[in-house]
Chain A
């Protein structure tokens, strides 16, 4: 192979490479691979492909341990998104991905393009997106940046998702000081496709045309992937130009045009241009196909003048796709994209050389072997240390609890993590498409009907970061178990998960230990619950000035219901229903919200997760729901049993008279033991349900009945629903209004 011509580019040295995040050892490797010094364009390409964000070099050895197989799995990790069989020849395609760093620097565009990127990952595989979800973590409410970030992120998610016409049906939002300098914006898209019409990214067919479609390329987002692979510092504001700008209108056109093209028989392979843009899409597609690729950048649609090969290859301009077409189908494909008023350009072809060759202005700017760049990135087994176990919280803490029960509950439901997020979700179009049965808040998981059918997918996102900090193994298992439980609580059969691993700097053994521990816990839970990982994303270096975020392995879970109308929500619906607790309550108080919000202590171990019990209890609850025996269903998580009941009462406007609590210690009310549900059933089926619990060996206790407009016990009224709602609904709007 001839050496690329000496072009008008900066001379590459080890020192220059270091400023692009390439270590001295990695630079040596590049010299060995090429047998010469890389060109500036080549350095740019290798530096992003080997960045943590694109190469998973710190996480790969551990991710390999996650269970990824099962009879329901059509395609596991490694493609743009995971694909799972939902019967009748249909498949559900989904993935969750982070856009943390950009969202901190420019919250509106950062969050918006996060939504756009994850949508493309899903529709590039042939799916029509049917639902968006998001998992958001912000800093402490009293931190000066938090309000601005909440406002911008929510507007960005809404601005993009509403316009593309994919309903945003739920998610979760937490606040914690550990995210003050590094928020988390994790976006998830779920789509459906025919199982025999899935599109993959491996290129095939020497000579086949390489086609660029979508928006034009500009200078935005250059080196975004590299930014996402480094810690933040006070000067991060200066990185604003590396944040991409989204255009949801173009994305909507791109969805429709791609789905129209996919209905023809013209596509060999397709991939979106996400992180590292044209570089990663071309290198990965050719790499997976074991082929070479030659690109002529003069033919790339550009919206700025004088762009260099380096800039074109590294741009992260949004709403672009790369397609390998069957030969001779260019005209048919072009007509579709022209109908949708999108750019369409043949920019190269596949070769048998195994090399990435980039030409422009009649010169060669890059000529590199693809395999090592795409597959043989350095892999690091970073040193790690396990997280020390926390001591149990001594019973003496109870002496410090003086607040009456009603006021305790009122304070809990108004705390930032439990307060209603209505202010957020009312800014999202949760209904477009007309298939939304439940958005989150109405039920433990969102439920969206498969378009044109009876069956529905259930979707949830879950993680309890404070548990993960205290015990990453338990926290990792709990995140998976809670996702499984939330799907179960609406009546869905859990199928598979996508994981979004948000952690600090993996070069610190303590942080790496959190990652390793979470993977271990997740692996245990995924295996025990037959709930494999089919896609995911790793976001490391979530630190600012050396302060790491809480370890946050966000889990996106997907399940299936045979009929959307079988799903049940959390709301109490009738007077006189029997309220039942499923699962054993032992009063585990460590890491509970009660401990943090009422007693001001963030300590102790998180609750143990017994996966066999989890499965037994969940299978029991799901069976009841699918047999039509359950009116209302809610899992018991943050805040414990009494908070769960309060949420059911607030959702339905029906109160509860609780007699099953008397004489018990308050930790039974607010402890966060796992594997539990609260159900409301009609009185005429209560005995039947109790008998089924006994037969299944599931602990079941009668807590009371739905009744009136307040929560009450034998001692009289604890608190009215009106007061609870005022506290629960009031916090977030009040907080946000204080800024305006």
Chain B
């Protein structure tokens, strides 16, 4: 699997993403600067976490208009897989690859903690290595992770099996106390119509090895490698 990680001014989890991709695929991904206008020939594009443009104006809003994003959208249109994590989720949502918006956390504070999620749909290379309904734990680290979309869009996302991950309690139960940011329907990650684009707030790349004390994120990368190699 060949992958590219897009780097914006203010990206800060690109190293985590590069390490997770390299560990899973055995190949170091390309790092592509936001001002570039061309992408190498890749199977996967990762838009990493961080504070692109300092989150000034609105999280992801400025990065969505970076020169490279035109090419990212074009590749996504051709079916190249795109994974947006945290700020990357915000950016690809602002860029129109996914519906909805990421608002300030309901508690108004930045949150860094490990959350429990349920894998809702395994019909994608991102989630193929999980079982439907599997309970996984990933860390979150964000200030603006409160996913919102209008009722009709949410209904469509739910109806089309496009909710990838949902925040739940430790036993898999729906529990508002375990929704860390107030997201509608406790949505943690969503797919596009063709399930070739995944945006998610939690960080699978920080849960891939013994050092992290958690390897629940590893199947996500392994699944991509298996599907795209």
- A residues touching B (Cβ–Cβ < 8 Å)? 155, 158-159, 162-165, 247-250, 252-253, 340-341, 425-435, 437, 449, 451, 564-565
5 A-B contact pairs sorted by A residue (CB < 8 Å): A165-B12, A249-B10, A252-B9, A252-B51, A429-B141
Give every chain A residue within 8 A of B206 (Cβ-Cβ): 431-432, 434
- State how many angstroms separate the Cβ of A169 from the closest Cβ of chain B: 11
| CB pair B111 A253 closer than 8 Å | no
Give every chain B residue within 8 A of A159 (Cβ-Cβ): 110
The answer to whether residues A248 and B211 also contact, given A432-B13, A433-B15, A434-B15 and a CB cut-off of 8 A, is no
| CB pair B13 A165 closer than 8 Å | yes
| CB pair B111 A427 closer than 8 Å | yes
* Chain A, Cβ-Cβ closest to B139: A431
The answer to whether residues A432 and B212 also contact, given A162-B51, A253-B9 and a CB cut-off of 8 A, is no
Residue from B19, B20, B109 having most chain A Cβ neighbours under 10 A: B109
Interface string of B165-184 (1 = CB under 8 A from A): 00000000000000000000
**Which one of B19, B54, B113, B213 contacts A163 once the chains associate, using CB atoms below 8 Å?**
B54
* Chain B, Cβ-Cβ closest to A248: B54
| CB pair B110 A249 closer than 8 Å | no
* Chain A, Cβ-Cβ closest to B111: A426
* Chain B, Cβ-Cβ closest to A256: B9
| CB pair A253 B12 closer than 8 Å | no
A-B contact sample (12 more), CB < 8 A, given A431-B206, A434-B19: A158-B110, A162-B112, A162-B143, A163-B10, A163-B54, A164-B12, A165-B13, A249-B51, A433-B16, A434-B206, A564-B211, A565-B210
The answer to whether residues A451 and B15 also contact, given A253-B10, A432-B141 and a CB cut-off of 8 A, is yes
Give every chain B residue within 8 A of A162 (Cβ-Cβ): 51, 110, 112, 141, 143
* Chain A, Cβ-Cβ closest to B9: A253
Rank and list the top 4 A-B pairs by shortest CB-CB distance, nearest first: A165-B12, A249-B54, A434-B16, A163-B51
Interface string of B198-225 (1 = CB under 8 A from A): 0000010110001111000000000000
List the count of A-B residue pairs having beta carbons below 8 Å apart.
86
**Which one of A252, A341, A425 contacts B12 once the chains associate, using CB atoms below 8 Å?**
A252
Give every chain B residue within 8 A of A437 (Cβ-Cβ): 211, 213
Chain B contacts with A in 23-81, Cβ cutoff 8 A: 49-51, 53-56
* Chain B, Cβ-Cβ closest to A736: B109
| CB pair A565 B10 closer than 8 Å | no
Interface string of B1-22 (1 = CB under 8 A from A): 0000000011111011001100
Q: How far is the CA of A247 from the CA of B9 in the complex (A)?
A: 13
Residue from A431, A449, A451 having most chain B Cβ neighbours under 10 A: A431
- B residues touching A (Cβ–Cβ < 8 Å)? 9-13, 15-16, 19-20, 49-51, 53-56, 109-113, 139, 141, 143, 203, 205-206, 210-213
* Chain A, Cβ-Cβ closest to B19: A434
| CB pair B112 A427 closer than 8 Å | yes
| CB pair B112 A431 closer than 8 Å | yes
- State how many angstroms separate the Cβ of A425 from the closest Cβ of chain B: 8
Give every chain B residue within 8 A of A564 (Cβ-Cβ): 211
**Interface class of chain B by DSSP:** mixed
- State how many angstroms separate the Cβ of B145 from the closest Cβ of chain A: 13
- State how many angstroms separate the Cβ of B8 from the closest Cβ of chain A: 11
- State how many angstroms separate the Cβ of B225 from the closest Cβ of chain A: 18
Give every chain A residue within 8 A of B211 (Cβ-Cβ): 434-435, 437, 449, 564-565
- State how many angstroms separate the Cβ of B88 from the closest Cβ of chain A: 14
- State how many angstroms separate the Cβ of A606 from the closest Cβ of chain B: 35
Q: How far is the CA of A452 from the CA of B4 in the complex (A)?
A: 20
| CB pair A249 B13 closer than 8 Å | no
- State how many angstroms separate the Cβ of B33 from the closest Cβ of chain A: 8
- State how many angstroms separate the Cβ of B206 from the closest Cβ of chain A: 5
The answer to whether residues A249 and B12 also contact, given A432-B141, A437-B211 and a CB cut-off of 8 A, is no
* Chain A, Cβ-Cβ closest to B51: A163
* Chain A, Cβ-Cβ closest to B14: A165
Give every chain A residue within 8 A of B210 (Cβ-Cβ): 565
Residue from A159, A163, A247, A429 having most chain B Cβ neighbours under 10 A: A429
Give every chain A residue within 8 A of B110 (Cβ-Cβ): 155, 158-159, 162, 427-429
Q: How far is the CA of A178 from the CA of B140 in the complex (A)?
A: 37
| CB pair B12 A432 closer than 8 Å | yes
Q: How far is the CA of A429 from the CA of B13 in the complex (A)?
A: 11
Give every chain A residue within 8 A of B15 (Cβ-Cβ): 433-434, 451
Q: How far is the CA of A247 from the CA of B54 in the complex (A)?
A: 8
- State how many angstroms separate the Cβ of B26 from the closest Cβ of chain A: 16
* Chain B, Cβ-Cβ closest to A341: B9
Give every chain A residue within 8 A of B139 (Cβ-Cβ): 431
Residue from B16, B56, B211 having most chain A Cβ neighbours under 10 A: B211
Give every chain A residue within 8 A of B54 (Cβ-Cβ): 163, 247-250, 252
- State how many angstroms separate the Cβ of B81 from the closest Cβ of chain A: 22
* Chain A, Cβ-Cβ closest to B7: A256
Residue from A426, A434, A435, A451 having most chain B Cβ neighbours under 10 A: A434
Q: How far is the CA of A699 from the CA of B50 in the complex (A)?
A: 49
- State how many angstroms separate the Cβ of A431 from the closest Cβ of chain B: 5
Give every chain B residue within 8 A of A449 (Cβ-Cβ): 211
| CB pair A427 B109 closer than 8 Å | yes
Give every chain A residue within 8 A of B10 (Cβ-Cβ): 163, 249, 252-253
Give every chain B residue within 8 A of A249 (Cβ-Cβ): 9-10, 51, 53-56
| CB pair B50 A430 closer than 8 Å | no
- State how many angstroms separate the Cβ of A7 from the closest Cβ of chain B: 38
Q: How far is the CA of A163 from the CA of B12 in the complex (A)?
A: 8
Give every chain B residue within 8 A of A451 (Cβ-Cβ): 15
Give every chain B residue within 8 A of A158 (Cβ-Cβ): 110
